[in-house]
Amino acid sequence: MRAIITDIRAGKAAALAEDGTVHLVDAKNRAVGQEIRIPAKHRRRWKKPLTWAVCAAVLCGMATTGVYAAYEPYASVSVVGGTDSVEYTVNRFDQVLGTRVSGKEQPPDGKIPRFVHIDKAVEHTVRQEAKEGERVSITVTSRSSGHAERLREHIDERFRQSGDKRNPPEVRVQPPEKPGNAPGESRPSESAEQA
């Protein structure tokens, strides 16, 4: 790129380039008004790929966090009626991740699909148990006592709004005091408890 020397001071010369930029060059054998050739500087080509890499890393981190929150067991809701009990494992968004049934091989009417909101799943199970004339008790356990209380209030409110006064379920919170009490943690076997 061509440039013209415009000023010389203290061993340095200011050169005005064709594109309007001023460059500082050595003043050796230079005079004001002299035309010189300045090599084009290589632009930093690493900035753009680095920006894309950082954006991709942030996007992957956000996606991983979302998937973790959606699939990590955070609470459990147990519906006990008569000889049967159904335990729903719930994520942070109060969606069903899994179902465990004792007394029968499957939930009362078949399999509850994943990611159904817990109040719909519990309401369905309670209605099935109420048809059989059983008294139903619901226990909410969570890693956070605040979350468990909000979930209990939500389920309790759902049954109050339904208007079924005949056999309302008892809803209570069980604090996660013991290591095997929190959802997602391994529970000791019955033989270990008896020993």
**Residue ranges of the domains in the chain?**
2-37, 70-180
- The amino acid present at 62, given as its one-letter code, is M
Q: Which residues fall within 8 angstroms of residue 147, CB to CB, at 6 or more apart?
A: 74, 75, 92
Mean pLDDT of 175-193: 49
Which candidate, 114, 135, 134, 110, places its Cα nearest to that of 124?
Answer: 110
Cβ burial of 138 (10 Å; 0-12, 13-18, 19+) is buried
pTM for this predicted structure: 0.59
45-101 pLDDT, tens digit per residue, is: 677 888 899 999 999 999 999 888 888 888 888 888 777 788 899 998 989 998 888
35 bridge partner residues: 4
3-class secondary structure for 11-40? Answer: CEEEEEECCCCEEEEECCCCCCCCEEECCC
